[in-house]
Amino acid sequence: MAKEKEEKKSSYGADSITVLEGLEPVRKRPGMYIGTTGPDGLHHLITEIFDNSRDEAMGGHADHIEVALLPGNRIRVTDNGRGIPVGVHKVTKVSALETIMTTLHAGGKFGGEGYKVSGGLHGVGASVVNALSIYTKVVVHTDGGIHMQEYSQGKKKANVKQIGKTKLHGTIVTFEPDIEIFKEVSFDWNRVVPHMRQQAYLVRGLKIHVLDLRKFEGKIREDEVYYLSELNIDAPSQTFYFEGGLVSLVKFYNQSEKVLHKNIFYVQKGVEGVEDIEVALQYVDDISSRITGFANNISTPEGGTHVTGFRTALTRTINSYARANGMLKEKDDNFTGDDVLEGLTAVVSVKLREIQFEGQTKAKLGSTEAQGAVATVFGEAFAMFLEENPDDAKMIIGKAELALRARKAAKAAKDSVLRKGALEGMTLPGKLSDCQSRDASLSELFIVEGDSAGGTAKMGRDRKTQAVLPLRGKILNIERARLDKMLASEQIRNLVVALGTAIGDTFDISKLRYHKIIIATDADVDGAHIRTLILTLFYRYFRPLIEGGFIYIAQPPLYKVKKGKEFFYFYSDDEKNKFMAQQEGADIESTEDGTLDVENNEEAEEEEVTDTKGKKRASKISIQRYKGLGEMNAEELGETTMDATKRVLKQVTIEDAEEADKVIDILMGSEVAPRKSFIQSNAKTANIDI
């Protein structure tokens, strides 16, 4: 059984619960409360229930949370916190548990002393999850008794009742999302686990256990144990526990990097207006930076006031130290914000009682008091760190000096490129076959592999709206290349000028010349490599184009099948095989590799073929396997890959920027060991065309 945890004195009781309004709007407009009814919204349900348990841990009332994926699309979240109050609420006249689970904006996060800080969805999490679930059960261990209530679609099935006695304390919430609300109910283990790992880093000393029990129908006897891990079922599981907190998170981010200094900077302090400020940082041998922000343990990918305060203090402190120690002379320029960010890995976390976000998605912190508080706390502590660790300070200043010199060189190279592209349509790259339209919303740019495919694409395109830019071979891997070296590459220079947006600090998305940028490479290993190099360039230097939905990948067909006088195009082996399975009695001709050039198979032109006995039999089928775009003629390429009414395009999106950043760094960076490990770990899931 779970260990008993000593109760902490607290005023968290029925009177701590404040009621603001009813629950009815949730099922009518679920998107207003969870953002979407797609996969993101579905997984957000787990986050909301987990956040309530996590807030207990943040307040020092819990140290163990278990998240279990159960058979039947159910989720079970267990903590050893204080337990949801079950006493009668003085306003609603029913149990506080029922009030919390069935009333919107009812919780310990609205006034009172239930929580000093919290990260839930404005306190509506539990009731929203309940409203959007076909089944919910809450079991509470508190004050020596076990209390339970069940619900369906937000409505109670019966009153709260005591079902036993206990020496434990905490809350167990089990829910099953309603199929009427969500398009598909299927939880992704690979989405759940990273979020729980991140939360374990953010709450030092909290153990989070994640279990996947979905394949164990009939073997889960949850009423016999408190934590399901006590059942000792051999199931996929992960346990996270980090005493180091943010320092451990920085180490995790930098595990595949070459660090420039061993000592990781860390400060934790609370000031008036901000309950807690935590910052950890370390520099690595890289040209990109990673600043991760959190507010009340909610990730803020768009930054906000806390990150702004951190960046301001970082630039000021490094400049002050460098000048005071003779590393910057009076005649030298100050380091800019970009100079001191190069190679930086940092985590900035703040906790506030009254928190404000910009927008419903909570992607950016808007609380103004956080900016000055972070700047003061971090600035003072980091200045002391540099003084006390002169060797580390020397490495950090040296990194900034290298970035400053590179910035000046890059500016000269960039200015040269901008001058070349200054006269629109006059100095565009010679190999660019531009379109006639000057309306970016109607214009498309096809980036193709090689002159052969380029020539075919030029003939097969719609000249009014489609431009073609052929690239010669594999472009420079820009993952570790500075801007000046990058712009020395003619291939990249041509692409930058063709896009029209400029690059770096002068990037302007409003000047984008094409609203569809389509990468069209061969369906082989080299083509995939070229596509990866181009995507790396876009991710590192033109990320707003990906975020804006302007980048696409063309899907040319893999097969052309000719049956009599009919032609069929197939984009995968499965499509082709399914078609072939339906051709009973067909006379199929093929070479050793299973392909045939249609033009050399004259018999296939006949709808029917007569055998030696004069009987009619099915027409011959010939199969052509395309290895590259250059093998297609202009008509084929235009019809299958460029015609907007028939083609298949895949839009490039960033589902998880943090994970994308990590994978690109591993695959395209200079460190061999992490790349080898990644390839070995994922080899079984790779789809390789040999």
The pLDDT score that the predictor gives to residue 681 is 62
For position 616, what pLDDT does the model report? Answer: 52
Is there a domain that residue 536 lies in? no
* Residue 488 binned pLDDT confidence (cut-offs 50, 70, 90): confident
Check whether residue 231 and residue 263 sit in a common domain. no
* Residue 478 in this model has a pLDDT that exceeds 90: no
Task: Work out the number of other CB atoms within 10 angstroms of the CB of residue 14.
Answer: 17
Tokens of 334: 């100050």
Averaged pLDDT, 495-512: 88
Q: What is the per-residue pLDDT for 433?
A: 92
**Parent domain of 609:** 559-625
pLDDT at 690 over 80: no
What per-residue string of b and e applies to 347-369 under the rule 16 or more CB within 10 Å gives b? bbbbbbeebebeeeebbbbebeb
**DSSP class of 641:** I
pLDDT at residue 427 in the model: 56
Measured distance CA(493)–CA(397) in Å, rounded: 31
Residue 544: the pLDDT is 93
What does the pLDDT read at residue 505? Answer: 75
Instruction: Give the pLDDT of residue 20.
Output: 47
Bridge partners, 160 (sequence order): none
- Quote the CA–CA distance of 430 and 425 in Å, as a whole number: 11
Scan for tokens 């395009």, then name that residue.
649
In the 8-state DSSP scheme, what is residue 88? B
47 and 160 within one domain: yes
Token pair of 579, please? Answer: 């078609």
pLDDT by residue (tens digit) across 60-106? 899 999 999 999 999 999 999 999 999 988 888 889 999 999 988 66
434 and 506 Cβ atoms separated by less than 8 Å = no
70 and 214 housed in the same domain:
yes
Q: Find where tokens 């070995």 sit.
A: 680
For residue 500, give the nearest of 420, 565, 564 by alpha carbon.
Answer: 420
Question: Do 287 and 223 belong to one domain?
Answer: no
Helix/strand/coil (H, E, C) string of 169-204? CEEEEEEEECCCCCCCCCCCHHHHHHHHHHHHHHCC
Residue 676 lies in a domain: no
Residue 582 DSSP class: T
pLDDT above 90: residue 141 = yes
159 and 138 within one domain = yes
Reduced to 3 states (helix: H, G, I; strand: E, B; else coil), residue 624 is strand
pLDDT tens, residue by residue, 306-333:
999 999 999 999 999 999 999 987 777 8
Report if residue 123 sits inside a domain.
yes
Poorest-pLDDT segment among 32-41, 232-241, 425-434:
425-434
Distant-in-sequence, close-in-space partners of 322: CB < 8 Å, separation ≥ 6:
328, 335, 397, 400
Per-residue pLDDT band at 507 (split at 50, 70, 90) = confident
What's the chain's average pLDDT? 83
Question: Would you say residue 2 lies in a domain?
Answer: no
Whether residue 387 is predicted with pLDDT greater than 90 in this model: the reply is yes
390: CATH: 3.30.230.10
Same domain, 219 and 138: yes
Residue 229 or residue 690, greater confidence: 229
Gap between the Cα atoms of 479 and 534, Å rounded: 11
Asked if 378 and 313 count as a contact pair (C-beta separation under 8 A), the reply is yes
- Residues 208, 354, single domain; the answer is no
pLDDT, residue 174, reads: 97
Q: What band does 123 get if pLDDT is binned at 50, 70 and 90?
A: very low
How far does Cα 196 stand from its chain's mean position?
14
Active-site amino acid positions: 449, 522, 524, 526
Identify whether residues 209 and 313 lie together within a single domain: no
Across 605-618, average pLDDT: 48
- Beta pairing class for 609-610 and 551-554: unpaired
What's the confidence (pLDDT) of residue 574? 85
Taking 60 as the threshold, does the pLDDT of residue 608 lie above it? no
- How far apart are alpha carbons 468 and 518 in whole angstroms? 10
Domains identified in the chain, total number: 3
pLDDT for position 424: 40
Residue 381 forms part of a structural domain: yes
Within-domain flag for 341: yes
pLDDT of residue 313: 97
> Which of the 8 DSSP states describes residue 510?
G
Pairing status of strand 620-625 against strand 559-563:
antiparallel
- 450-465 pLDDT, tens per residue? 888 888 899 999 999 9
- At residue 551 the predicted structure's pLDDT band, cuts being 50, 70 and 90, is very high
Q: Cα–Cα distance between 124 and 109 in angstroms, integer? A: 9
Whether residue 625 is predicted with pLDDT greater than 50 in this model: the reply is yes
| pLDDT of 112 over the 80 cut | no
* Boundary of a domain, candidates 625, 650, 672: 625
pLDDT band (50, 70, 90) for residue 187:
very high
Q: Is residue 689 part of a domain?
A: no
Q: Are residues 102 and 181 in the same domain?
A: yes
Return the amino acid letter for 214. Answer: R
Burial class (CB in 10 A: 0-12, 13-18, 19+), 25: middle
Same domain (yes/no): 598, 584? yes
pLDDT tier at 576 (50, 70, 90 boundaries)? confident
Full-prediction pTM beyond 0.75? no
Q: What are phi and psi of 341, to 5 degrees?
A: -85, -20
212: three-class secondary structure by DSSP: strand
DSSP string, 137-181: EEEEEETTEEEEEEEETTEESS--EEEEE-S--EEEEEEEE-TTT
- Picking from 221, 240, 259, the residue at the C-terminal end of a domain is 240
The reported pLDDT for the residue numbered 431 is 83
Q: Report how far residue 97's alpha carbon sits from residue 656's, in angstroms, rounded to the nearest whole number.
A: 35
> Does residue 523 register a pLDDT over 80?
no
| Residues 176 and 316 both lie in one domain | no
List Cβ neighbours of 422 (8 Å cut-off, separation of 6 or more): none
Of the chain, the percentage scoring pLDDT greater than 70 comes to 80
> Do residues 64 and 79 make contact, with C-beta atoms less than 8 angstroms apart?
yes
Q: Is residue 228 part of a domain?
A: yes
At 219-276, the pLDDT tens digits run: 888 888 999 999 888 999 999 999 889 999 999 999 888 899 999 999 999 998 898 9
| End-to-end CA, the chain | 53
38: domain CATH number?
Answer: 3.30.565.10
Q: What is the pLDDT of residue 670?
A: 60
Name which residue leads in pLDDT, 597 or 188. 188
**Residue of 614 and 289 predicted with greater confidence:** 289
Assess whether 136 and 223 both reside in one domain: yes
